Structure 1
C-alpha cells in the first residue's frame, strides 16, 4: 500500500477541534507554575484549544499539568518536528499535534498517531500533498512571511477544498482579514498570551485578550 492511500483512511480529523474557536493561542511556557493559571484564563476567555510549543524545557510537563488540571482545556503540542517527540507528547496527554512544516518521514510518523494533527505547509505544492495524504486542516506557517492573506486568496480558486489555520505574524489588526477567508478555520497567534503578562502573573489580562479574540467573526461555519 502506498503512503498516500494508507494515510488518508487513518488520520483523525482536526476540523472539529480547530473549529471550536476562531483563535488558537500559541503558548511558550518558561515557568511550569504558569501553565495551569494561564490555561484557565484562556478557557475562561473562550479559547479552549491551546497549543503549547515544544520550545522550552518545561513544555511537556506543562502539557501534562494542563491536561490533568484544567477543565475544558483542549491542550496540544506544537513545534513537533521529529518522530521522537510524538510519543512523548501522547504520554503527556496532548490531544492534538502541530508542526511548523512536514517532511515525508514526519508525515509517515503522524499517520501512526491516534490524535488529530495540523501539519505545517508554506507553499501550494506542500498544501496539495498534505491534503492528498488526508490532513484536513493545515497550519500555514509562517503566514505573513509566506504571502499571508493574498496567498490564501490566490490558491482558493484552484484549490477550494483546502482548509487552513494560518500562524506567524498574526495579531488583532490582521486576524480579521484571515478569518474573512472561507478557507480559514481559525488563526494561531501569541498576542493573547503576551510574555510580559505571563511573567507578571497578570492572567486577568490574558483572559480579557482571549475574550476579545473569541469574539472575532469567521466567514464560514465549520463542523
Structure 2
C-alpha cells in the first residue's frame, strides 16, 4: 500500500513530461527566435526589439511554470534540483535548451511502436541537430557580448558564426577570440559541449563502421585450405 502513492506520483510526472516535451521544444525555438531578433535587430528598430524582448520573457515564464509543476509532481522535494540538474541549468540558461532534444525525440518515439532510426543514426542525428542549435545560440550570445567591445575581433554576426564553427569542431584558428568575460564564459560552455557532441558523433560512427565490417566478414565464405 505504501508504494501506491509513489507509483501514482511517478505516473503523473511521466505523463506531464510526455505531454509537454514537444510543446516546450517549440517554445524554446520561439525563445531562440526572439533572442535572435533582439540581438540582431538594428538599434533604431525599438518596436521590434521590444516585441522580441516580450517574446523572450513570455517563453521563459513558460519554462519556469513547467519547472515548478514538475518540481511538485516529482515528489522529490529539494532533491529534484540535484536529480534533474540539467533542467535547473536550462531554466537559468535557456539558450541551452537544445540539449534537451534527446528527451523530445524520446517523448515522440513513445507514441510509436518502434523507432524509425537505428541507434547509431539517432545518436548522430541528436548530436548534429544539437550542435547546430547550440552553435547558433552561442553565436548570438557571443556576438551580443563582443561586437561593441574594445579590441574585439568578433564584430559581425558572420564573425560569430565562424567562431562557433571553429569552437565546435575544436579547430581554433585564433582569428576570432572573445575578449569580454561574458564572451569567454559562452566560449567555455561551447567548448565543453562541442567536445561532448563531437565525441558522440565520432564514437557512434566508428561503432557503426565496425558493425558493418563485422557483418561483411561474417558473410564471406570460409577460405579453402
Bigger RCO of structures 1 and 2 (CA < 8 A, at least 6 apart): 1
- For the criterion TM > 0.5, the same-fold answer is no
Return the TM-score normalized by structure 2: 0.28
Which one has a larger percent helix, Structure 1 or Structure 2?
Answer: 2
